[in-house]
Structure 1
Amino acid sequence: DFNEDHQGIMADYANDLQSINLDQHEHEEDEDEEEMDELFMNRNNYDEKTDLEEDKQPLKKLKEAKLDEQFPGEVDTPMDVSARVHSYVTLYEKDVPISRFEPAHHLFVTGLLPHEQYSSVLNIVLNHTNDSEITVKSKERLIFHVGFCRFSSSPI
């Protein structure tokens, strides 16, 4: 079982070496292949010459290089910092009056997705409180606040 696990790791390592062509490491790859050939030729002292942690480090570096190549601008969130801190976006708007802006409060910006320009059906149940004596007539124009969106409608 132990030898099969090592052979599986070595096979993955060799596949990753072939899939990523790094010009600067061509000479090092040739040396690694020669060392692996020597290890596979003499299976009796394979465990003595092989360090599992040492084998995992180049594999980890190759996987990180492959991920950096696939997602070049991605930044990982540190474990000790909340993900919310990294998810804010700073917007600079020209014609916002400073008198209306309070730096202590967030400014929420919303927009519509391309498919959200069409009308749809929204089912809402209105409940009266015991204190309210206002009657809502059928087809009376009401203003609805749903999330960040505000719209007026005449419910049935």
Structure 2
Amino acid sequence: MKKYDKGMDLAAEKEDLENLKAAKADRQFPDEVDTPLDQLARIRFQKYRGLESFRTSPWDPKENLPSDYARIFQFENFDRTKKRILKEQEEKDGALPGWYLTVHVKDVSQLLWSSFKQSKMSVVLIGLFPHEHKMSVLNTVLKRTPYYSLPIKSKERLVFQCGFRRFAVNPVFSSHTNGQKHKFERFFQPDSTVVASFYAPIQFPPSPVLCYKEVDNKLVLVATGNLLSCNPDRMVIKRVVLSGYPLKIHKKVGCY
């Protein structure tokens, strides 16, 4: 007991407890938000809009975007570009599995090469397809694993292994549906499947994806999946259901 108290992080324990309560409330009452009492609802929710139908109501994906969003690379037709690049790669003559090759690398300092030899690290050579050096919005389909049972909050820092690349990002979770608009998910619940969207270098499907969470300075595998698309126009919409008591105002008298 003393060892547990000595190694316990009180702030982390409190944060995990709050996330558990919020995730449980989100699962029981999805998207419900209490009507605020300290400010007008029309001010608190002025960035939201009413939709007749979440599926069919029009929504411009280019609306109210920050200026930096224009720097993101976007394909005119991602699926057509992927098919063309993969077909060109198959037509090229390259090395086959089992071949022994001699690779000459230029412009590498002797000091760097000596440090590699002393550390006995492996040198991995990777070839990039066209456009894979550019940045865009990657959408990956993830499914939870049994190695981590706590809910994961949206925009929480996670480590992704996407193909041959590994990076730390703060993904936004959304529902995995076939429509044009996708509902924002506040939590990645256990035994569920979501789409995680984040800024990253472009890759082409199918690319396996592993998602890790850092727990006690160790990486724990929390989800697995694959790359869905590179589409910055994927619409992730936050849905809010107001909860409270209806109130009718007649002049200066309030009546329930």
After TM superposition, the score normalised by the length of structure 2 is 0.23
Q: Which has the larger radius of gyration?
A: 1
Indicate the structure with greater helix content.
1
Indicate the structure with greater strand content.
2
Higher RCO (CA < 8 A, seq sep 6+):
2
